[in-house]
Structure 1
Amino acid sequence: MASGLRVRMYRIGFGDFFLLSVPSAPGVSHILIDCGVHAKDLGSMRAAVTQMAKDCGNRLALVIMTHRHADHISGFGSCADIFAQIEVERVWMPWFENPGDQKAVAFQASLVAMAGHLGRQFQARLAAKPDPEAEQLLSMAENITGGLGLAGIAANQKALNVLHGGFKGSQPAHDYYKAGDVPTLPPGLAAAGFAAEILGPPIDDALIGQMTNKNQQYLAGVTEGDDQPEKLKPFANAFRGKRDDYGDKAFEPYGYDRMMRMLEGAQPDVLAAQAEAADKTLNNQSLVILFSFGGKNLLFAGDAQWGNWENFLYGGAYGTPGHTQLTAKAQDILGKIDFYKVGHHGSANATPKDAVKAMRIGCVGMCSTQEHAYNEVPRAPLLDALRQRMNDQLARSDQVAAGADAPANPDAGALPKAFSAPAHELFIDYAF
């Protein structure tokens, strides 16, 4: 039986932009879940935000920012003038964004500062010569900052400013959630019988730091390297020496210890590891939310990585006593889901095998993605596993055009029959 619930996925490139429309009295209430693009920007963001504003009548019951990566928030900054005409009742963010939590504020500031430092080093490397690896690492760093915009203000900060105070009229209430919190819904959504449960992120630092579990990834053979890259050796052993071979004067003006720290910090493999770790740390901050309405259950996982999933799936660090199997709650949730927003654009490290195996056969999914933005994203073995679970009802954002200059991706296949594209471009709908 149709419930009138609708999920709309916009095509903007490598980024997430979803609008959830819920029947309520006296009309329809709308929930915006992320609004950003970074790599492979198709130039359709403004058209998509304009379309969204029209569809919701310049009124959003709820805005959800899963995490502060540019590919999830850049649209708030680039389309600040449009959002300034939209009324918003509430805004949800992960607990890391709580300005009253000094630990969270310091952590985010440190992460942004590190990303800025890494970005400058990758830019210097690219200025010296073309370097595809450095280009991708620079993209990772700038996904954290958004890069510098007008007046030297980081683009992501501009987007955050809009989220915190850039909507029309009286500013919305802001909530900062962690796994297990009971969220506050706008009155219209609550009265309509709409419900939400916060499944992530955890608050445990150890879990936030858990980025990867290769045994839970859908890998394509030997293309994935070890978690820690091998140290580069730019010189043959014949040119290597020991500390004792040189006097103190050789290390002036910094001294041996500081000079070694500077050299270690500038090695390309160390910089790469730092950029990847910073990128994944932000992903692991993602809000993970289960929505329920009219007997239908929808799971939006943001870009959650292993530690975030680990908390939801096993109730704690996997492999420790009491945390070796899926909890009864996780099994129940996944066994009843009707819709899954594919985590992290279909990358290998954001939808664990155990989660896929527990999903209800016949559920449907949407994956907002764009090929050739990052290595092997979307990951074909993961999408194949999801399609099998979903009876081939998995939509990709690149299955529709984003204007004349961005046609549908022929390699993505045809849009599955469960979905529709009313305008034949820009967005894909799924109606319950």
Structure 2
Amino acid sequence: MARTAKKKMARKSTPKQLRRGTPAARSTAVGAGTPASDYRAKVRMYRQGLGDCFLIMLPRTDGSKRPFYVMIDCGVVLGTPDPSTIMNQVVDNIVEVTGGEVDLLIATHEHWDHLSGFVQAKQSFDKLKVGQVWLAWSENPDDELTKKLKKEKGLALNALRMGLSRMQMAGDQDGVAQLSGILEFFGLAKGRTTADALSNVRAKTAKPRYCLPTDPPVQPAGINARFYVLGPPHDEKMLRKINPSASQKETYGLALDSFPLFMDGAGSALRDADTDRPFDQQYEIPFAYAQSAPELDFFREHYWQPIDPATDAWRRIDSDWLSGASDLALQLDSLTNNTSLVIAIELPGGDILLFAADAQVGNWLSWRDCSWMVDGKTVTGSDLIRNVILYKVGHHGSHNATLKTLGLEEMQRLQVAMIPVDHEMAVKKRWGKMPLDELVAALNERAKDVVLRIDQPKPKTQANVIEDRLFFEITF
């Protein structure tokens, strides 16, 4: 497979429909005055597992044969076998392809499956020279809303660590598994964290750019492509809108009521002042001790006979007071997703490459309020969505990360969808509907079956897609 892919790469890899000069080619031709090139963009999606890592190559207009390289994220979910080896392979490939220099590095948000490679493959990452680093405004330490969100996040993580410990003491195995799975997104299980990964990213430049949707589009020198920032919204209300509402089915799959505000409904037992425990701590006896201590035969005689642990576990209340921990963890996870930096890259001819990271409902909805003045004309977020030809599917194809009517159905020119998902790993993590079947069907219909998943071979009809064990690459 790898040998075949290399042979294909050696030949011109421009899609068939563009080489033949069909209407599709004419509608996406480069603009007047642009030097002739055999491609307008190449997008490589790495196949490291359930996580995001993309390398984009844009041709230069200044005569240089070296492309303008953009790297977006580099991570894989905890639980992936031998993650350091695979992430080093990914970063080593990027170093080799780029000659050890990336013009722009974008880290979209603080989740392990998007950032882990920056610590797991640090030795390889250290070999990579970076021109610019872009982060979302939500990572700007001088931004007031960032300060508020970071403070809440710190309190929540401390509370969740405490809740996890108490679940373990109470013997609540299901609760421990669920809560641990969510905390893994912040890299907490292995000692190194997403904050460590972001520190390594920031160290690549003296001054990162903290991006806002109100920023004017950027056209780097020497290329004929523009970068628009669509999200995250600098709006707390929109950030907290995670799920589709019951009254308006904005996404595919089931409509769910939005989560309450970040710390609400999370269980007062996880706060500093705990007043809602079923019993005061001085009267509590840990479950494991009460079950085994010989001097506490009273409990076995009066409470556990004839209890069958296999069928009567539901009668236990010792960990019920911790039920809010999972709610809090889900809210923390989803709010972090909704701070995703969303980038739209406009190619010559107006076509858009959309990289939505893990943006969820509120982030998507905010794009409709975005507008910029470009060459004397107003460009709106809706204009960009209508012209999307490549969509990096949000949050690995989950139910609340791709809008329907105001999202995918507006992408009238969609040619390719890329889903960085490993369904087998998602099932192990208890995320059995990742990717959502209904969304995958809609993507296949809209993108004419050019849907690339890292956990599946490329469609047999797609000769224009390079397939390697380490990546997919498509050329426009």
Q: Identify the TM-score tier after normalising by the shorter chain.
A: 0.7 to 0.9
In the TM superposition, what are the counterparts of 1:32-431 in structure 2 within 5 Å? Answer: 32-42=71-81, 43=83, 44-126=86-168, 129=171, 131-132=173-174, 134-144=176-186, 146-147=187-188, 149=190, 154-165=192-203, 167=204, 171-182=205-216, 184=218, 189-214=220-245, 215-219=249-253, 258-261=273-276, 267-295=321-349, 296-313=351-368, 329-354=380-405, 355-371=407-423, 372=427, 373=429, 374-400=431-457, 414=459, 417=462, 420-423=465-468, 425-431=469-475
Q: Residues 339, 225 of structure 1: CA spacing in aligned structure 2 closer, same or farther, 3 A cutoff?
A: closer
Letter of the structure 2 residue corresponding to residue 175 of structure 1: R
Distance 1:64 1:147 in 2: 23
Q: Which residue of 2 aligns with 1:237?
A: none
Letter of the structure 2 residue corresponding to residue 260 of structure 1: T
Q: Which moved more, 1:102-111 or 1:91-100?
A: 102-111
SS at match of 1:216: coil
> 1:136 deviation in Å?
3.1
SS at match of 2:110: coil
SS at match of 2:412: coil
- CA deviations on 1:7-66 (whole Å, 9 max, x unpaired) are 011112221111111112421121000111124424322211111111111100000011
**Mapped contact 1:94–1:285 kept (Cα < 8 A):** yes
Letter of the structure 1 residue corresponding to residue 362 of structure 2: G
**Mapped contact 2:45–2:53 kept (Cα < 8 A):** yes
Distance 2:181 2:201 in 1: 23
Distance 1:379 1:259 in 2: 39
Distance 2:80 2:321 in 1: 30
Letter of the structure 2 residue corresponding to residue 341 of structure 1: K
Structure 1 runs not aligned, ≥5 long: 232-253, 317-326, 401-412
**Mapped contact 2:345–2:353 kept (Cα < 8 A):** yes
- CA deviations on 1:269-324 (whole Å, 9 max, x unpaired) are 311111111111001101111101232310111111111111113669xxxxxxxx
Letter of the structure 2 residue corresponding to residue 30 of structure 1: Y
Letter of the structure 1 residue corresponding to residue 243 of structure 2: T
The partner residue of 2:67 within 25, 28, 31 is: 28
**Mapped contact 1:36–1:72 kept (Cα < 8 A):** yes
> 1:375 deviation in Å?
3.5
Distance 2:73 2:419 in 1: 14
SS at match of 1:428: strand
Letter of the structure 1 residue corresponding to residue 462 of structure 2: K
> 1:121 deviation in Å?
2.2
SS at match of 1:267: helix
**Mapped contact 2:119–2:196 kept (Cα < 8 A):** yes
> 1:415 deviation in Å?
5.9
Q: Which moved more, 1:281-290 or 1:360-369?
A: 360-369
Distance 2:352 2:256 in 1: 36
> 1:177 deviation in Å?
1.1
- Give me the CA root mean square deviation: 3.0
* Aligned pairs, number: 371
> 1:104 deviation in Å?
1.2
**Mapped contact 1:194–1:293 kept (Cα < 8 A):** yes
Distance 2:45 2:278 in 1: 45
- CA deviations on 1:85-125 (whole Å, 9 max, x unpaired) are 21111000000111222441342243144124314423542
Structure 2 runs not aligned, ≥5 long: 1-17, 19-37, 280-318, 372-377
Q: Which residue of 2 aligns with 1:247?
A: none
TM-score, normalised via structure 1 length: 0.78
Distance 2:87 2:394 in 1: 21
> 1:179 deviation in Å?
1.4
Q: Identity across aligned pairs (percent)? A: 29
Distance 1:175 1:359 in 2: 29
Larger Rg: 2
Letter of the structure 2 residue corresponding to residue 211 of structure 1: I
TM-score, normalised via structure 2 length: 0.71
Distance 1:97 1:228 in 2: 23
Letter of the structure 2 residue corresponding to residue 22 of structure 1: L
Q: Residues 367, 259 of structure 1: CA spacing in aligned structure 2 closer, same or farther, 3 A cutoff?
A: closer
